[in-house]
């Protein structure tokens, strides 16, 4: 195997592929990337056995085809340091030699037969999308995915639900929930719980992605990249049931100043519970937090409040994460009782895109 | 703090008395309450009739039977004793809020402020004794003093069914003639050391120079001296019962063993007992301790602190078994126990969905059913395997103080 490749395209390709590699694994071969030179181009592959990625990179020059596997992290670290425009690779026996900048790096390789085979791309449920739509939806929701996947595995992924004229994406960890509905013309129907990792693998500057899914995996095909990922097993929690249909108390605040007030309160919030209390009244709205050893804060913030006087407690971190996702100038909180889910959304309605968040209070 | 009136109420031969009450044929006969069958079992309680023969709590059964061959042997029913203890606390609390459960059959009451409501200390004590007799058909002994130390010491004076009152001026007459090991807080070791100094009675201790005691025992020397003079300023603190620092359960095996499947079974069973109590107190544990006593009676404790608190029997058993395999595999053991520490409340953070794991939910439901039917009708399959061991587990050995605490808070 002998080939020459342009620096920038090799580096960005390798960075994406290396994202899949997990540092802690009992199966050592998974620390490697798979490199193959075909008649047409260079193929890089990596997997953690849940997600597979395959990326094609154009070659400047190819003298001999072949394939090998080599430590992904080490290769990435090494090429990141090199500034040459082109990299020359040669595979000799069990050594991959990289020549650039007048340096010669030699990497030990392993038998490529050892590397797990990529599964076949699913053929069913084909949907074509602009990748930015998916990325944007994930941007608004992905943060709410549960990190405690042992307890309820399905919450470890984002729930994608495509119908002919809308796309919904939902994420929750049981304490808060993020939900976005994007109008569009999608033609098909598709339901899947997708590992958040998949979204970090999207290549840049693409116009279309073909999505396919069967019962156990999803495939995403871009012009130069294929991602196949095992779907997270459901059922996904029945989130529609927990979205409150009506409310008793209405709070509208300028987003930026509310975030600022929350940040100030965060300083005084109890380090364990992260509790802040909103004290709401039609004439005056305050935020309060205290930790006996530190002190306390009571801060008034500008707001429009409709409803009876009310005190409600939240984990300030959960609230901030949500508010930070709201781009609109004002945000709305719809409260039913201090012990039930609170709905947060942008004040301005967008007919093309519906965004809503839920957060559960802390009992005072 | 002047003129406090503190009571210690102590049930007379509690477990044995309950058994005599419930099984009339045992009335007036020597009764030995034991934890489980087998040669190794010990007497957990004995009736006054048996005590006359020299039987003491903690004595191996065969030894007790040598002293008192005609004794009736009864398996203890710990749940019953706990429920009874709970009923007693309810009675005490009718008189004052300041009730501090001290053990399963003893409680301190501070009645200083309630005399205008219920009468003199003696009248209050008699009312309580009458109520305990009428409601539960049990007798108790009460010590009344100006502090907890003296109340506790004189409660033993006229057992059973006693009532003894002590004031500071009575100390030389009532307390000082007692041998020093009768002083509350003085064990065998300390009393031997005191005897070597020529201190045989509490009076000797009171007259011994305090400075010399401090030389000999450090800070504890000063404390000993104070106690000999009947001084104790500690308050009756109902909150003592509220703070639960650990929950645990242990068991002496019917025979020493290194058989892993058997040990696993006991760990499963102990875990289910511990998890039951965690659930009742709405707690989760981050620290799991494994206690093991070997054939040579040496006891070892190992522990692990987890990142995330756990609550279900399966989780606790898994951690404990891993601790066992790591530390004691292949060694013969005679006692095994699990304790949980670093306890945290279920969060007050509300949840959108019921995110408790399925197994935790199943366990909670099983527990509710068992509670409803007052016996174990559902338990983990792993526990059904060894029928013999199942039979063996009618054992009382658990950490009483916690049980007491829990009941107090129910």
Picking from A155, A174, A234, A344 by the largest number of B CB atoms within 10 A of its own CB, the best residue to mutate is A174
Sheet (strand A304-306) strand order = A190-194, A158-163, A166-172, A176-183, A353-359, A342-346, A330-335, A249-254, A304-306
Burial of B14 (0-12, 13-18, 19+ CB in 10 A): buried
β-pairing, B72-75 vs B31-34, is parallel
pLDDT band at B357 (very low <50, low <70, confident <90, very high): low
Residues of chain A positioned with their CB less than 8 A from the CB of B352: 172, 174-177, 237, 239, 242, 341, 358, 360
β-pairing, A86-92 vs A95-100, is antiparallel
* Interface predicted TM-score (ipTM) over 0.90: no
pLDDT of residue B354: 64
Instruction: Flag if B355 and A358 touch (Cβ within 8 Å).
Output: no
Residues of chain B positioned with their CB less than 8 A from the CB of A363: 348, 350
Name the residue in chain B with its Cα closest to that of A178: B352
Instruction: Flag if B353 and A242 touch (Cβ within 8 Å).
Output: yes
A140 CB neighbour count, 10 Å cutoff: 21
Reported as type and span, the H/E element at residue A310 is: strand A310-315
Identify whether the C-beta of residue B42 lies closer than 8 Å to the C-beta of residue B65.
no
Write out the CATH class of domain B176-228: mainly alpha
Residue A224: C-alpha distances to residues A292, B8, B28 (Å): 57, 83, 93
Long-range contacts of A13-18, Cβ-Cβ distance < 8 Å, separation of 24 or more = A13/A44, A13/A55, A13/A57, A14/A44, A14/A72, A14/A75, A14/A76, A14/A79, A15/A76, A16/A53, A16/A55, A16/A201, A16/A203, A16/A225, A17/A44, A17/A45, A17/A46, A17/A53, A17/A55, A17/A72, A18/A46, A18/A72, A18/A73, A18/A76
Instruction: Flag if B352 and A177 touch (Cβ within 8 Å).
Output: yes
Identify whether the C-beta of residue B206 lies closer than 8 Å to the C-beta of residue B225.
yes
Nearest to A362 among B348, B355, B356 (CB): B348
Nearest to A360 among B308, B351, B356 (CB): B351
Residues of chain B with CATH 1.10.150.20: 176-228
Q: Which residues of B136-151 are buried (b: 16+ CB within 10 A; e: fewer)?
A: bebbbbbbbbbbbbbb
pLDDT of residue A11: 94
Greater pLDDT, A95 or B363: A95
Residues of chain A positioned with their CB less than 8 A from the CB of B349: 175, 273, 315, 360, 362
Question: pLDDT of B5-40, one tens digit each?
Answer: 999 999 998 999 999 999 888 888 899 888 766 556
Instruction: Flag if B352 and A148 touch (Cβ within 8 Å).
Output: no
Of A163-172, B139-148, B230-239, B331-340, minimum mean pLDDT range:
B230-239
Ramachandran region, residue B280 (left: φ > 0; alpha: ψ -120 to 50; beta: rest): alpha
Query: Quick one: CATH architecture of B7-166?
Result: 2-Layer Sandwich (3.30)
Name the residue in chain A with its Cα closest to that of B355: A174
A329 CB neighbour count, 10 Å cutoff: 11
Ramachandran region, residue B43 (left: φ > 0; alpha: ψ -120 to 50; beta: rest): beta
Q: What is the DSSP string of B56-115?
A: -TT-BHHHHHHH-TTPEEEE--HHHHHHHHHHHHHHHHTT-S-EEEEETTEEEEE-GGGH
Picking from A152, A317, A344 by the largest number of B CB atoms within 10 A of its own CB, the best residue to mutate is A152
* Residue A326 to residue B185: CA distance in whole angstroms: 65
β-pairing, A86-92 vs A2-6, is antiparallel
Greater pLDDT, B245 or A124: A124
Whether residue B348 lies within 8 A of chain A, CB to CB, comes out as: yes
pLDDT of residue A93: 87
In the predicted model, what is the mean pLDDT of residues A227-236?
92
Which residue matches tokens 């709905």? Answer: A343
A267 CB neighbour count, 10 Å cutoff: 12
Picking from B353, B356, B357, B358 by the largest number of A CB atoms within 10 A of its own CB, the best residue to mutate is B353
What is the sign, positive or negative, of the torsion defined by CA atoms of B405, B406, B409, B410? Answer: negative
pLDDT of residue A34: 95
* Residue B317 to residue A143: CA distance in whole angstroms: 34
* Residue B407 to residue A167: CA distance in whole angstroms: 54
Residues of chain A positioned with their CB less than 8 A from the CB of B353: 152, 172, 174, 237-238, 242
Gap between the terminal Cα atoms of chain B = 30
Alpha carbon of residue A334 to chain centroid: 27
Residues of chain B positioned with their CB less than 8 A from the CB of A176: 352
pLDDT band at B388 (very low <50, low <70, confident <90, very high): very low
Greater pLDDT, A159 or B79: A159
| CATH code of the region B244-409 | 3.30.1490.100
Residues of chain B with CATH 3.30.1490.100: 244-409
Residues of chain B with CATH 3.30.70.270: 7-166
B329 pLDDT exceeds 90? Answer: no
Whether residue A183 lies within 8 A of chain B, CB to CB, comes out as: no
Active site residue B322: no
pLDDT of residue A56: 95
β-pairing, A217-221 vs A42-47, is unpaired
Question: pLDDT of B82-120, one tens digit each?
Answer: 788 888 988 999 999 899 888 888 999 999 999 889 999
Question: pLDDT of A300-312, one tens digit each?
Answer: 999 999 999 999 9
Minimum distance, in Å, between the CA of residue B322 and any CA atom of chain A: 19
Ramachandran region, residue B161 (left: φ > 0; alpha: ψ -120 to 50; beta: rest): left
Between vectors from CA A262 to CA A256 and to CA A264, what angle results, nearest 5°? 105
pLDDT of residue B367: 79
| Average pLDDT taken over every residue of chain B | 82
Instruction: Flag if A358 and B352 touch (Cβ within 8 Å).
Output: yes
B380 pLDDT exceeds 80? Answer: no
In the predicted model, what is the mean pLDDT of residues B148-162?
90
B395 pLDDT exceeds 60? Answer: no
* Residue A200 to residue A205: CA distance in whole angstroms: 14
Question: pLDDT of A13-46, one tens digit each?
Answer: 999 999 999 887 778 899 999 999 998 899 999 9
Q: What is the DSSP string of B119-136?
A: -SHHHHHHHHHHHHHHHH
Identify whether the C-beta of residue A197 lies closer than 8 Å to the C-beta of residue A138.
no
Name the residue in chain B with its Cα closest to that of A358: B352
A87 CB neighbour count, 10 Å cutoff: 20
Q: Report the interhelical angle of A316-323 vs A255-268 (nearest 10°).
A: 160
Whether residue B261 lies within 8 A of chain A, CB to CB, comes out as: no
Identify whether the C-beta of residue B129 lies closer than 8 Å to the C-beta of residue B95.
no
Task: Establish whether the linkage from the previous residue to A272 is cis, with ω within 30° of 0.
Answer: no
* Residue A119 to residue A121: CA distance in whole angstroms: 6
Whether residue A152 lies within 8 A of chain B, CB to CB, comes out as: yes
Identify whether the C-beta of residue A33 lies closer than 8 Å to the C-beta of residue A72.
yes
Whether residue B297 lies within 8 A of chain A, CB to CB, comes out as: no
Residues of chain A positioned with their CB less than 8 A from the CB of B347: 273
Minimum distance, in Å, between the CA of residue A227 and any CA atom of chain B: 31
Residue A301: C-alpha distances to residues A304, A328, B261 (Å): 10, 17, 63
Instruction: Flag if B352 and A242 touch (Cβ within 8 Å).
Output: yes
Whether residue B358 lies within 8 A of chain A, CB to CB, comes out as: no
Question: pLDDT of B129-145, one tens digit each?
Answer: 999 999 999 999 999 99
Helices (H), chain A: 7-18, 72-81, 131-141, 239-242, 255-268, 316-323
Between vectors from CA B261 to CA B255 and to CA B263, what angle results, nearest 5°? 50
Q: Which of B19, B49, B100, B106 is catalytic?
A: B106
User: For residue A331, what are its two tokens?
Assistant: 């945000």
Instruction: Flag if B351 and A341 touch (Cβ within 8 Å).
Output: no
A246 CB neighbour count, 10 Å cutoff: 6
Residues of chain B positioned with their CB less than 8 A from the CB of A361: 350
* Residue A238 to residue A324: CA distance in whole angstroms: 26
Alpha carbon of residue A316 to chain centroid: 22
């Amino acid at each position: 195997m002998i080939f020459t490749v342009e620096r920038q395209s090799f580096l960005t390709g390798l960075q994406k592929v290396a994202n899949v590699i997990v540092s802690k694994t009992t199966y050592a071969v998974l620390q490697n990337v798979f490199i193959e030179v075909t008649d047409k181009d260079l193929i890089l592959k990596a997997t953690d056995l849940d997600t597979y990625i395959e990326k094609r990179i154009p070659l400047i020059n190819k003298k001999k085809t072949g394939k090998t596997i080599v430590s992904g992290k080490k290769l990435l670290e090494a090429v990141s340091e090199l500034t040459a425009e082109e990299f020359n690779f040669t595979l000799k026996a069990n050594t991959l030699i990289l020549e650039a900048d007048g340096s010669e790096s030699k990497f030990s390789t392993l038998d490529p037969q050892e590397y797990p085979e990529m599964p076949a791309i699913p053929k069913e449920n084909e949907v074509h999308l602009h990748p930015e739509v998916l990325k944007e939806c994930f941007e608004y929701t992905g943060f709410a995915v549960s990190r405690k996947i042992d307890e309820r595995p399905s919450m470890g992924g984002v729930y994608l639900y495509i119908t002919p004229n809308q796309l919904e994406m939902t994420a929750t960890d049981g304490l808060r929930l993020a939900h976005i509905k994007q109008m569009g013309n999608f033609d098909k129907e598709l339901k899947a719980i997708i590992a958040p990792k998949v979204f970090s693998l999207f290549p840049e500057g693409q116009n279309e992605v073909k999505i396919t899914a069967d019962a156990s995996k999803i495939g995403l095909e871009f012009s130069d990249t294929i991602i196949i990922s095992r779907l997270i097993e459901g059922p996904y929690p029945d989130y529609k049931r927990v979205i409150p249909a009506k409310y008793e108390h209405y709070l509208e605040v300028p987003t930026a100043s509310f975030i600022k007030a929350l940040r100030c309160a965060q300083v005084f919030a109890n380090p364990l519970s992260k509790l802040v209390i909103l004290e709401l009244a039609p004439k005056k709205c305050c935020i309060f937090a205290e930790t006996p050893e530190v002190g306390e804060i009571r801060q008034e913030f500008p707001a429009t409040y409709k409803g009876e006087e009310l005190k409600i407690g939240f984990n300030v971190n959960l609230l901030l994460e949500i508010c930070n996702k709201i781009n609109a100038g004002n945000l709305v909180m719809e409260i039913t009782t201090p012990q039930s889910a609170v709905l947060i959304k942008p004040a301005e309605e967008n007919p093309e895109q519906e965004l809503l968040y839920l957060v559960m209070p802390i009992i005072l | 703090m002047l003129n406090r009136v503190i009571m210690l109420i102590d049930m007379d031969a509690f477990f044995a008395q309950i058994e005599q009450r419930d099984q009339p044929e045992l009335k007036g006969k020597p009764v030995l309450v034991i934890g489980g069958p087998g040669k190794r079992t010990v007497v957990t309680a004995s009736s006054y009739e048996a005590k006359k023969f020299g039987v003491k709590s903690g004595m191996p059964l065969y030894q007790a039977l040598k002293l008192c061959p005609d004794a009736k042997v009864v398996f203890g029913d710990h749940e019953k004793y706990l429920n009874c203890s709970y009923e007693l606390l309810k009675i005490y609390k009718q008189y004052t809020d300041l009730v501090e459960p001290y053990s399963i059959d003893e409680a301190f009451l501070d009645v200083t402020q309630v005399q205008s409501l219920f009468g003199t200390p003696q009248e209050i004590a008699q009312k309580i004794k009458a109520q305990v007799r009428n409601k539960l058909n049990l007798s108790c002994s009460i010590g009344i003093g100006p502090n907890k130390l003296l109340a506790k010491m004189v409660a033993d004076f006229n057992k059973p069914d006693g009532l003894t009152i002590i004031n500071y001026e009575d100390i030389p007459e009532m307390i000082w003639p007692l041998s020093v090991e009768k002083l509350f807080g003085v064990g065998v070791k300390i009393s031997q050391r005191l005897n070597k100094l020529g201190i045989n009675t509490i009076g000797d201790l009171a007259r011994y120079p305090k400075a010399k005691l401090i030389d000999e025992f450090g800070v504890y020397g000063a404390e000993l001296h104070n106690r000999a003079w009947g001084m104790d300023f500690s308050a009756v603190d109902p909150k003592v019962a509220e703070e639960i620092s650990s929950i645990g359960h242990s068991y002496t095996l019917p025979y020493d063993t290194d058989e892993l499947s058997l040990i696993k079974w006991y760990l499963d069973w102990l875990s289910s007992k511990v998890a039951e109590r965690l659930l009742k107190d709405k707690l989760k544990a981050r620290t799991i301790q494994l206690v093991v006593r070997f054939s040579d009676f040496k006891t070892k404790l190992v522990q692990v602190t987890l990142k995330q608190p756990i609550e279900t029997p399966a989780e606790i058993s898994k951690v404990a078994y891993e601790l066992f395999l790591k530390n004691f595999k292949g060694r013969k053991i005679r006692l095994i126990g699990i304790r949980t520490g670093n306890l945290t409340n279920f969060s007050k953070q509300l949840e959108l969905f019921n995110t408790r794991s399925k197994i935790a939910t199943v366990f909670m439901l099983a527990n509710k059913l068992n509670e409803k039917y007052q016996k174990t009708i559902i338990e983990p399959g792993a526990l059904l395997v060894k029928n013999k061991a199942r039979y063996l587990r009618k054992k009382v050995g658990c950490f009483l103080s916690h049980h007491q605490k829990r009941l107090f808070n129910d």
